[in-house]
Amino acid sequence: METGNLPPAFKSKFTFYMAVCWIIAAFGGLMFGYDIGISGGVTAMDDFLIGFFPEVYERKRHAQENNYCKYDNQLLQLFTSSLYLAALLASFIASKVCTVAGRKWTIRWASLLFIAGAVLTAGGVNKIMLIFGRILFGIGVGFGNEAVPLFLSEVAPPKHRGAVNILFQLFVTIGILIANIVNYFASKKHPWGWRLSLAIAAAPAIVLLLGSFYITETPTSLIERGKHEKGKAVLKKIRGVNDVDDEFDQIVRASEIAHQVKHPFKKLMNLSSMPPLIIAILLQVFQQFTGINAIMFYAPVLFQTVGFGNDAALLSSVITGLVNVISTLVSILLVDKVGRRVLLIEACFQMFITQSIIGGILHAHLKSYSDTLGHGQAILVVLLVCVYVMGFAWSWGPLGWLIPSETFPMETRTAGFAFAVSSNMLCTFLIAQAFLSMLCHMRAMIFFFFAGWIVVMGLFAFFLLPETKNVPIDLMVERVWKQHRVWKKFMVDDNQSGIEAGR
Ligand code: BGC
């Protein structure tokens, strides 16, 4: 596949300051991950239900459960998922804030909103406070997920951009793991354990807030807002060299084109904007249809289904959480060497095979409601889940965020990326909302359902996804989209009609 993979010409050296900026920004990922990991656990805690949803608690106590139909309450799930709806809408506002006020300010707002969410929910005394707090959490996630991946991709040197951007996902996975462990201990503290779980959400946000006074604004954002001198100085500081002229000139050129576009969202609807937009949306939709959050949200339920007790089930989900973190490191090491495509396509094989075998085992052995798996079979299922998570963690997990953050030209970058964030939130919401009912109706077939999606996304990655490894972020149009066998057909008249339509 043609990609225009020319070697990067820009000079850079590793600097300590830059590395600290990467780590601070990645705490935005920790906020997101902590929330993914915490929600299911908190709403399952009896003290929480008795205090706020007593009717749900009563029904839960008398609910008829079986292997596939665990207790399922749409209202409670909607409460959990309201965060994703808030984040979905917030990402579009965040895109505007990112352009007008910069990435750094958007990150600061994300942390403030998240802290407010933690205070309101952890100190909640009625449903209104809880729901309002949940919405603030959601807006914080929307702001953070919009700004952090863009920040990381823009400050990273081209040849390490993949690795640097994946710090976001690495921190997402660490957040999920910490949340699982916190929930495990908090659930044993009566009656306030759930408050502790929610209060701890403020910790990464406080680090991010304080850190936002230390980190730099991205040169791209400074230059885009006309602060050329400062942009150049920052570029020198983060690249650790004085000779940054080539890179600076190229950002200035990209920003001149960007300035001709007055309405980025309108411009996004042009034919020439379709390739990165389609890719950004599909990567996120596919990321969710790997079924990963069915595993992440419901790992304890799933492991109970295959015959583990309460504590053993939680422990198994801590193990999958660890596998998730460690395998993300593999992606950091490989993404700028083997490229994005190889990781995505390899993982499809791995995830397809494991999902199909899990489906097969459950279909064969969990037929009636009273069946349980044998000890050996249950362990096998946990192992297969680990291999599946491994595949996801070094491919569709991180690359679902990386590729959309590096493929839009400057004029549509924040607007286009908002579509990626909101597609993620919408699909996460849909899966969170539907999974337990789907499991109940489709039983083991649900694994084949996700395996089917994995075939589709593998074909998509093979035929339609260009390689973006090593290409400077502001040269994607020339070196990637205009070179690609299929997508170059969309890139007609980019200079005239494209910009015109966005005015
Ligand atoms: C996804 C989340 C998922 C997480 C798992 C992220 O990239 O967006 O939905 O729970 O990875 O590690």
173 lines ligand 1 (CB under 6 A): yes
Report whether pLDDT(268) > 60: yes
178 lines ligand 1 (CB under 6 A): no
With vertex at residue 341, the alpha carbon angle to CA 339 and CA 344, rounded to the nearest 5 degrees, is 115
pLDDT > 90 fraction of the chain, expressed in percent and rounded: 73
Give CA–CA dist 416/409, Å, rounded: 9
The three-state secondary structure class of 4 is coil
pLDDT band at 202 (very low <50, low <70, confident <90, very high): very high
Please give the full DSSP string across 359-384, using - where no structure is assigned.
HHHHHHH--STT----HHHHHHHHHH
pLDDT band at 424 (very low <50, low <70, confident <90, very high): very high
Closest alpha carbon to 201 in 213, 183, 219: 183
Sign of the torsion formed by the C-alpha atoms of 395, 396, 401 and 402: positive
Mean pLDDT of 116-125: 97
424 lines ligand 1 (CB under 6 A): yes
Q: How far is CA 319 from CA 302, 322, 332, 396, in A?
A: 14, 5, 20, 20
Please give the full DSSP string across 184-196, using - where no structure is assigned.
HHHTTSTTTHHHH
Mutate to test the pocket of ligand 1, among 169, 289, 322, 402 (most ligand atoms within 8 A of CB): 169
Q: What is the pLDDT of residue 80?
A: 80
Q: Which atom of ligand 1 is nearest to the CA of 169?
A: 7
Give CA–CA dist 219/224, Å, rounded: 8
Q: What is the pLDDT of residue 304?
A: 74
Closest residue to atom 4 of ligand 1, CA basis: 397
Q: What is the pLDDT of residue 294?
A: 81
Q: What is the pLDDT of residue 9?
A: 66
397 lines ligand 1 (CB under 6 A): yes
In the reported structure, the alpha carbon of residue 288 is separated from the centroid of ligand 1 by a whole-number distance in angstroms of 8
Closest residue to atom 11 of ligand 1, CA basis: 397
pLDDT band at 5 (very low <50, low <70, confident <90, very high): very low
Report whether pLDDT(501) > 60: no
Report whether pLDDT(245) > 90: yes
Q: Which atom of ligand 1 is nearest to the CA of 393?
A: 12
What is the average pLDDT value for the chain, to the nearest integer? Answer: 91
Which residue intervals of 45-126 are DSSP H helices?
46-52, 54-62, 74-100, 103-122
pLDDT band at 15 (very low <50, low <70, confident <90, very high): very high
Q: Which atom of ligand 1 is nearest to the CA of 400?
A: 7
Mean pLDDT of 345-365: 95
In the reported structure, the alpha carbon of residue 106 is separated from the centroid of ligand 1 by a whole-number distance in angstroms of 21
What global pTM score does this model have? 0.94
User: For residues 398 and 478, is the Cβ–Cβ distance under 8 A?
Assistant: no
Mean pLDDT of 64-77: 73
More confident position, 99 or 432: 99
Q: What is the pLDDT of residue 497?
A: 42
Q: What is the pLDDT of residue 167?
A: 98
Query: CB neighbours of 101 closer than 8 A, spacing ≥ 6?
Result: none
Report whether pLDDT(72) > 90: no
Q: Point out the least confidently predicted range of 39-43, 208-212, 276-280.
A: 39-43
Q: Which two tokens stand for residue 347?
A: 């993982």
26 lines ligand 1 (CB under 6 A): no
Amino acid at 196: L
